[in-house]
Amino acid sequence: MSNEYEREPVPPEAQLGFGSFIGQYAGEHTAGTELMIGPLFVAAGVSAVDLLGGLLVGNLLAVLSWTFLTAPIATRARLTLYYQLERICGRRLVTLYNLANGLMFCLLAGSMITVSATALGVWFGFAMPQLNDVYPTGLGWILAVLAIGAMVTVVAAYGYEFVSRVANIAAPWMVLVFIAFGLVGLRQMGVTSLAEFWPKAQSVIWTGGAPLPGQIKFTFWHIMFFAWFCNMAMHIGMADLSVLRFARRSWYGISTASGMFLGHYLAWVTASILYVVQLRADPSNTAVLPGPLAYNACGIAGVICVIVAGWTTANPTIYRAGLAFQAIMPRVSRYRVTMVTGAITTIVGAFPAVAMQLLDFVALYGMLLMPMGAVVFVDFWLSKRFGFQPNYAERSGTDFNWAAGLTWFVTLAGCALLVLRGGVQLYFVSLPGWFLAAILYLALSRLLQRPVAAGIPAGVQPL
Amino acid sequence: MTMAARVLSWLALAGTIVPPILFFYDRVSLDQTKLWMLIATVVWFAAAPLRDESARPE
């Protein structure tokens, strides 16, 4: 639905009901990468209270971010993020944003291809990557990634509608397979009734010991901030303005709870249980390989789930990356851009480093795009109150709003400094980063904006 | 056809989740669980598109 009304507000007759968003968010956030993230929490030595409590609070904060930050702007302006940014920042700055966004989508889709390739390893038995591997592990692995990457790319270029349909069909079944992973895993660890769950959870499953070699220790705060910020680009970063602009009411933002509590709670927890089963069977086998994990629990149905989950989410991600790049090179056909994007993504997928370091990558992804979310927020709600003009690029005719550009660059430099020199971990830096970006944009806009002539379109304003 | 596809798809969903529940309560083996889940998966992907197709507006 995001391809319609790209440069105009969504009209009332095109707006959608609450149910449409529940299904969409549940499907989008039950992805192949959930099978990586759950095990990586275990590798980080998380305890039961920290995991279950951190996920509860973090996911709730994510839902509230969509509901109270993204949806109110989406349902008032009813514009895509790209168009809204273009009006605020100007075309050249949006091009830079598209480049960063497209590259991040490529890396994300690459990790999804990595996940799907681990499923092929179950059948063909080639050497698969270990937890700390960076480079491809052999010819078999490369061929598997190439096969899946080629399939995903061709479908993204030709038949996106088909995959979208498969994703919708698979969604209810996939959620049940994720629940099955948990049930089978719990039974394999000796849990035979619900009453036994909590004692076993604390003493056997998520014991909170030392992290595995090469991993950092995760606490409640790591889990909470990760769950909150892993989709930061979508809520606080405002990318889902493009989705929620179709919502009839602002409170529909709460529909994101379906994705958070099915995909980012249930699926992460059950995937982590499968990894604990593997570690208990062989403590030296620390590899996080969704294919074998799923096969051991649910057989071929589990492997199909890994392939479908990875494929159906890699496809729209490549498609979105292609759209972002095409915006930079509008003369090149979308087909050609998508094919090149898919080739880059496939190469990324062959390197297991991104998938194995997925927790860090996802945190970085959110941080990189977050400042532009702060720019949109301040521009929409605070510009009049603080005496500067909203949608300055559109009003002034500039193609590079330096207030927004400097906000982005200085915030990222500040966050990088905090991580590299200040000893602040990547997971925690985006919260102060958002406030820094908001204050910077406000101050720089007041400082740098020049009066513009009357009669220039005022754009969409808060009601 | 529509009704048959609908019934089959519901049965397939049940076939996906009931075997792991029975395995959890130690009523079936893991191999039986995997087999029933595979059958249910095949049925689901065969029946669900037909059910959805019939639900689409003309």
Instruction: Enter the tokens of residue B13.
Output: 């969903």
Calculate how close chain A gets to B20, using CA atoms only, in Å: 6
Q: pLDDT digits over A198-215, tens only?
A: 999 999 899 998 999 889
Burial profile A366-395: b = 16 or more Cβ within 10 angstroms, e = fewer: bbbbbbbbbbbbbbbbbbeeeebbbbbbbb
Q: Average of pLDDT values for A160-165?
A: 72
Instruction: Enter the tokens of residue A404.
Output: 């927004």
DSSP A4: S
At A407 the pLDDT is: 98
Tell me the average pLDDT of chain A: 91
Of residues A188 and A457, more confidently modeled: A188
pLDDT band, residue A338 (cuts 50/70/90):
confident
Q: How far apart are the first and last CA of chain B?
A: 16
At A160 the pLDDT is: 64
For an interface test with B, give the residue of A173, A191, A266, A308 to mutate (most B CBs within 10 A).
Answer: A173
- Rounded-to-integer distance, Cα B11 and Cα B3, Å: 12
pLDDT band, residue A159 (cuts 50/70/90):
low
Q: pLDDT digits over B35-48, tens only?
A: 999 999 999 999 99
Instruction: Enter the tokens of residue A54.
Output: 């951190």
- Rounded-to-integer distance, Cα A105 and Cα A317, Å: 6
Which residue type is seen at B22? L
Q: pLDDT digits over A438-450, tens only?
A: 999 999 999 999 8
Choose among A81, A80, A88, A85: nearest CA to A392.
A88
- CA A47, distance to chain mean position in Å, is 24
Is B46 an interface residue toward A (CB < 8 Å)?
A: no
At A331 the pLDDT is: 86
Of B12, B20, B26, the CB nearest to A192: B26
Q: Which residues of A touch B45 (CB under 8 A)?
A: 169-170, 173
Provide the chain A residues 143-182 that lie in CB contact (below 8 A) with chain B: 165, 168-170, 172-173, 176-177, 179-180
pLDDT band, residue A461 (cuts 50/70/90):
very low
ipTM confidence: 0.93
Q: A324 vs A175, A236, A384, A411, CA distance in Å?
A: 30, 19, 31, 22
Is A333 an interface residue toward B (CB < 8 Å)?
A: no
Is B32 an interface residue toward A (CB < 8 Å)?
A: no
Q: Average of pLDDT values for A90-113?
A: 91
Of residues A437 and A461, more confidently modeled: A437
Closest chain A residue by Cα to residue B9 = A173
Determine the 3-state secondary structure of A16 from DSSP. strand
Q: A306 vs A105, A227, A290, A407, CA distance in Å?
A: 20, 21, 7, 40
At A455 the pLDDT is: 52
Choose among A283, A285, A189, A232: nearest CA to A430.
A232
Q: Average of pLDDT values for A416-439?
A: 96
DSSP A201: I
Q: What domains, with CATH codes, occur in chain A?
A: 19-359 (1.20.1740.10)
Of residues A167 and A163, more confidently modeled: A167
Q: A185 vs A188, A343, A378, A387, B22, CA distance in Å?
A: 5, 36, 47, 58, 13
Query: Torsions phi, psi of A16, nearest 5?
Result: -115, 160
For an interface test with A, give the residue of B22, B31, B33, B37 to mutate (most A CBs within 10 A).
Answer: B37
pLDDT band, residue A458 (cuts 50/70/90):
very low
pLDDT band, residue A4 (cuts 50/70/90):
low
Q: Average of pLDDT values for A224-241?
A: 94
> Does residue A281 register a pLDDT over 90?
yes
Q: Which residues of B touch A302 (CB under 8 A)?
A: 34, 37
Please report, for chain B, the start and end positions of each structural domain, with discontinuous segments joined by +. 2-55
Query: Torsions phi, psi of A60, nearest 5?
Result: -65, -45
> Does residue A305 register a pLDDT over 50?
yes
Choose among A317, A32, A26: nearest CA to A171.
A26
Angle between helices A402-420 and A430-448 (to 10 degrees): 150
What residue ranges of chain B have pLDDT lower than 50? 56-58
At A385 the pLDDT is: 95
Q: Which residues of B touch A301 (CB under 8 A)?
A: 16, 34, 37-38, 40-41
Q: Average of pLDDT values for A323-332?
A: 82
At A462 the pLDDT is: 40
Q: pLDDT digits over A30-83, tens only?
A: 888 899 999 999 999 999 999 999 999 999 999 999 999 999 999 999 998 888
At A1 the pLDDT is: 44
Do A235 and A60 form a contact (C-beta atoms < 8 A)? no
Of residues B16 and A165, more confidently modeled: B16
Query: Torsions phi, psi of A261, nearest 5?
Result: -90, -20
Choose among A37, A152, A158: nearest CA to A106.
A152
At B57 the pLDDT is: 41
Q: pLDDT digits over A388-399, tens only?
A: 999 999 999 999
Q: A181 vs A23, A50, A223, A276, CA distance in Å?
A: 21, 21, 21, 12
Is B24 an interface residue toward A (CB < 8 Å)?
A: yes
- CA B54, distance to chain mean position in Å, is 18
Instruction: Enter the tokens of residue A447.
Output: 């400082």
